[in-house]
């Protein structure tokens, strides 16, 4: 085996391991975000009961719910990408030959990567401003805003790294002319795949 081939294979294996690790991170963040949404429901229910039973609310529920909701959205972006759940227009996509679909998949990934970079840039402006001014919420809780904002920004950062790792894998696969693997990793879900995903929870599959 040529040295360049060995180096290429070692690099591909490293990217695969990093991508697998990052997929586990994304799944854990999705689960945490889901628990956050459930906590919102519990807090709202308790707040409603408190108002009904004792005539006063808990205070701060709306504020905390807003933080959890924003964090839950950003923390779900990476897993949504891995699940190929981000919306793409596929009116003509499935009519194209496989190599062209693979190239379009990479182009879509680059566009999403640019969006993630913009979200991180904009989010950092918000976080750095809160840090510089030691900003706190205007409610009675006086929450240091940098705490929920950093958690919110972390979701975008994980999303960006997920896109970058998947992009490197896709480029390696394009180099090997493995268009099918690129499409399986990044392509738009077919109706059959969507139906299979829909029945997975009921069948116990993961």
Quick one: which of 29, 30, 48, 51 has its CA closest to 40? 48
The pLDDT tens digits for 49-79 are 888 888 777 778 889 999 999 999 999 999 9
The pLDDT tens digits for 101-131 are 899 999 999 999 999 999 999 999 999 999 9
2 or 136, higher pLDDT: 136
Q: How far apart, in whole angstroms, are the C-alpha atoms of residue 112 and residue 115? A: 5
Q: Write down the pTM of the prediction.
A: 0.85
Q: How many alpha carbons lie under 13 Å from residue 168 in its C-beta half-sphere? A: 15
Q: Which two tokens stand for residue 119?
A: 């979200």
Q: How far apart, in whole angstroms, are the C-alpha atoms of residue 121 and residue 60? A: 29
Residue 165's pLDDT band (boundaries 50, 70, 90)? very high
Q: How far apart, in whole angstroms, are the C-alpha atoms of residue 29 and residue 179? A: 30
- Residue bearing tokens 């003509």: 92
Where do the structural domains in the chain lie, given as residue ranges? Answer: 3-203
């Amino acid at each position: 085996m040529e040295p360049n081939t060995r180096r290429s294979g070692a690099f591909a294996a490293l990217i695969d391991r990093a991508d697998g690790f990052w997929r586990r991170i994304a799944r854990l963040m999705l689960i945490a975000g889901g628990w956050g949404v459930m906590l919102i429901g519990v807090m709202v229910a308790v707040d409603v009961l408190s108002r009904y039973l004792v005539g006063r609310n808990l205070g701060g529920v709306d504020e905390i719910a807003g933080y959890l909701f924003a964090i839950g959205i950003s923390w779900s972006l990476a897993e949504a990408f891995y699940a190929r759940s981000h919306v793409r227009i596929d009116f003509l996509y499935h009519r194209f030959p496989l190599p062209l679909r693979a190239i379009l998949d990479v182009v879509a990934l680059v566009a999403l990567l640019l969006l993630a970079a913009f979200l991180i840039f904009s989010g950092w402006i918000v976080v750095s401003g809160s840090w510089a001014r030691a900003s706190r919420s205007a409610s009675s809780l006086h929450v240091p805003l940098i705490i929920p904002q950093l958690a919110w920004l972390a979701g975008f950062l994980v999303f960006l790294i997920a896109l970058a790792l998947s992009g490197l894998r896709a480029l390696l696969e394009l180099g090997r002319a493995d268009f099918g693997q690129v499409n399986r990793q990044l392509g738009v879900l077919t109706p059959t795949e969507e139906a299979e995903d829909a029945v997975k929870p009921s069948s116990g599959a993961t």
